[in-house]
Amino acid sequence: MWHCRKLAAGPHGAVMRLVRTREIKRLVGSGDRIAEFTLPAVIAAVGLTAWDPTIVRLTAPPILVATSMAALGLGVAIWAWSVILILQNVPRHKLIIGGPYAWVKHPLYTAVALLVLPFGGVLLNTWLGVLIGAVLYLASRLFSPAEEEALARTFDGEWDRYVRHVRLAWL
């Protein structure tokens, strides 16, 4: 698949070049495979909710609601920070080692799977966020090794140094 990329603006307008979509793929990592793996759980959750909403209903005590609001806020902040770092660094072919990446190797996946989906589900009065979050986390653990191998090939010794210094590399 092809798309246009603006290279420069000149006296006669923008200079455009056709590039393969593969260049955009560099921004995706394992996200496409993780989404494909998680999609059946999402479809099942929607179907179960449509069939009988009482099955998925969760009535959370006030302390869990308060905790969920804090965890959801933290998860969204980590996710957004991770996305910004990806958009700033990946096109420049720079390894991201700071911010949330200093704590976990895949903060975007981890934040969504362990904070956003489960606690968002609680706030929506359903336990399905926990289920979908668990499936998403499993998918991230299954597909991250291939992404990490590609990063190791691309960044060589820099990747090895980074992995040794990540605080929660196992998460």
Name the pLDDT band for 126 (thresholds 50, 70, 90): very high
> Which residue has 């700033």 as its token pair?
88
DSSP 104-132: -S-HHHHHIIIIIHHHHHHHTTBSHHHHH
As a whole number of angstroms, the distance between CA 36 and CA 128 comes to 18
User: In this prediction, what percent of the chain has a pLDDT beyond 70?
Assistant: 84
Q: Does pLDDT of 22 surpass 70?
A: no
Place of tokens 């929607």: 46
Mean pLDDT confidence for 53-61: 95
Domain-wise residue ranges, the chain: 27-165
Indicate whether 58 pLDDT > 80: yes
Q: Label the pairing between strands 13-20 and 2-10.
A: antiparallel
Angle of helix 128-155 relative to helix 31-51, nearest 10 degrees, comes to 170
pLDDT in tens, 67-89: 999 999 999 999 999 999 999 99
Per-residue pLDDT reduced to its tens digit, 106-115 = 999 999 999 9
Distance between start and end Cα atoms, the chain: 35
Cβ pair 139, 81 in contact under 8 A? no
Domain 27-165 bears CATH identifier 1.20.120.1630: yes
Q: Is the pLDDT of residue 15 over 50?
A: no
Tell me what pLDDT residue 2 has. Answer: 42
Predicted pLDDT at 170: 87
> Which tokens belong to 86?
């990806």
Q: Does the pTM of the predicted model rise above 0.75?
A: yes
